[in-house]
Structures are given as C-alpha cells and as structure tokens.
Amino acid sequence: MRKNIVAGNWKMNTNLQEGVALAKGVNEALKNITANCDVIIGVPFTHLAPVNDAIDSSKLGLAAENCADHKSGAYTGEVSAPMVASTGAKYVILGHSERRQYYGETSEILKTKVNLALENNLAPIFCIGEVLEERENGSYLNVVKTQIVDALFELSADDFSKIILAYEPVWAIGTGKTATAEQAEEMHAFIRGVLAEKYGQEVADNTSILYGGSCKPSNAAELFAKPNVDGGLIGGASLDVESFMGIVTAF
Ligand code: PGA
C-alpha cells in the first residue's frame, strides 16, 4: 500500500549554517517520536551534501528542489541529476509551479528531468496544480490531467511507480489560502482515477499523492484524514522545526 509522506520544500531559504541547523533540529525531533509517515526535507543544492552528513537517512529523507535537463557538459551553473544523487539525496522535487512560472519549465523539459532523475535512482516528487483562473473557470481537473499525461505518461508502469505526486493549487501556495479538504480530496481522487485508467488500479492505489499549499499544523490533520490525501509538500511551515513537526505528527 502507498506511503504517507510529509516533505518539506525549503525553496530559496536559509544559508548553509542555518540549513544544517534546521535539518539537525528535524532529525533530533524525529528521534523522540514514532512518525506514522515518511519524512523528507527538500533543500537548496548547496546544502545537500552537508545536510546528508548531518542527518540519519533511515529516519529523514533528503530531496533536491530541482535538477538540470542534461546529464553533464557545457551548461554553466546547472546541477545534474547524477550530481544530486552523488550527495546522498534520494528524491528530487520537479515541476514546482515556481519553476514552471519563473523559469519556463514546460512538460517537455520536465519529461527529460524525470527521466534523468529515474536513471540516477532519484524518486521525483512531481508537482502539478492549476492557477486561480483555471480553478474559477472550472478547467482545473483537465489542467492537472494534462500536466500529468504530458510529462509522465510515457513512463513504464515500473518507472511510474517510483513517482510521488504533489498536487499544489498555485492559488494556495504561500498565500495562506489553503484548499479545503474537500477540494483537495476531489482532485486527489480524480488524479487516482486518471492513473488507474493508464496504469491500472494497483499502481494507482500505490501512488502517494501529497497536497501542498499553505499546509500548516492547524489544517494538516483535516487534509490528511481524506482517503486520497497521502501527506503534504510543505513550504513556509517546513522552515521551523516545531511547525514542521506539527504537520508530521498530524498523521
Ligand atoms: P507553502 O508552499 O506551504 O508555503 O504554501 C508549498 C510549496 O510551494 O511547496
């Protein structure tokens, strides 16, 4: 059966020393509880190797927030999937709406990134989600389906089973405006149906679908109680040990 997962997405926050301290704080806090979910932190590239050294990887997973769409070569400033994997990270967040919006990441580019991640044994945490206008004009289910189909549906069932999905309505990210548990459940159930049509019910049932967008300790339990919400991708609230742990313990 699918895993429950709470994953932090630090975005472009914390310098190296602050980041290592935050990772250690989460690692320590996890020693004192029995988490009913897998816990992952997504950190800036510069932090990956030192954070990996500072945490117990059997209790806390490590993710990059992106990787390049090329394996190696003359791409000044880029960080490849093999480089990420060599730090000890096991996951990579791909297709975040901020990457799509500010860095022009298309489904075509994301398809390449997903393939490179999988070739390097990194599990993609693949983000999808509609903007406010698409929510309001009623096209949101189709928008999300298209994002999934275009970037992921050329994968074999075996490869697809390594993907973690994160539904993040763009209008809820960093805005304090969370989707209601019912809105999240509607989308997650719809996504699972789309997966079942393509890969069969077993693969669909085994895929973790996280919710992201202003998830915090005060609303996590209600969201996670929904049958198709398998955890969260947490931005702002992952930058503080207490609030992140408040979400981890919502399971
Ligand atoms: P937020 O971000 O929790 O700060 O809304 C979520 C995300 O962008 O992954």
**Alpha-carbon distances, residue 99 vs 95, 102, 107, 170 (angstroms):** 6, 5, 11, 12
pLDDT higher than 90, residue 53: yes
Please name the residue whose Cα sits nearest to atom 9 of ligand 1: 235
Residue with tokens 């309505």: 169
Q: Give residue 238's identity as a one-letter amino acid code.
A: S
pLDDT higher than 90, residue 1: no
Assess whether the C-beta atom of 240 lies below 6 angstroms from ligand 1: no
- d(CA 155, ligand 1 centre) in Å: 27
Phi, then psi, of 149 in degrees rounded to 5: -60, -50
Helices vs strands, H then E, count in the chain? 12, 8
Residues acting as catalytic residues: 96, 168
Containing structural domain, residue 182: 5-248
Probe target for ligand 1 pocket from 6, 9, 178, 240, with the most ligand atoms within 8 Å of CB: 9
Crossing angle of helices 140-152 and 107-119, in 10° steps, is 50
Give the range among 79-88, 154-163, 174-183, 185-194 with minimum mean pLDDT.
Answer: 174-183
Q: Give residue 200's identity as a one-letter amino acid code.
A: G
Assess whether the C-beta atom of 234 lies below 6 angstroms from ligand 1: yes
* Residue 105 Cα to chain centre, angstroms: 16
CATH number where 133 lies: 3.20.20.70
Whole-number pLDDT of residue 176: 87
Assess whether the C-beta atom of 168 lies below 6 angstroms from ligand 1: yes
Neighbours of 91 (CB within 10 A): 23
- Domains identified in the chain, total number: 1
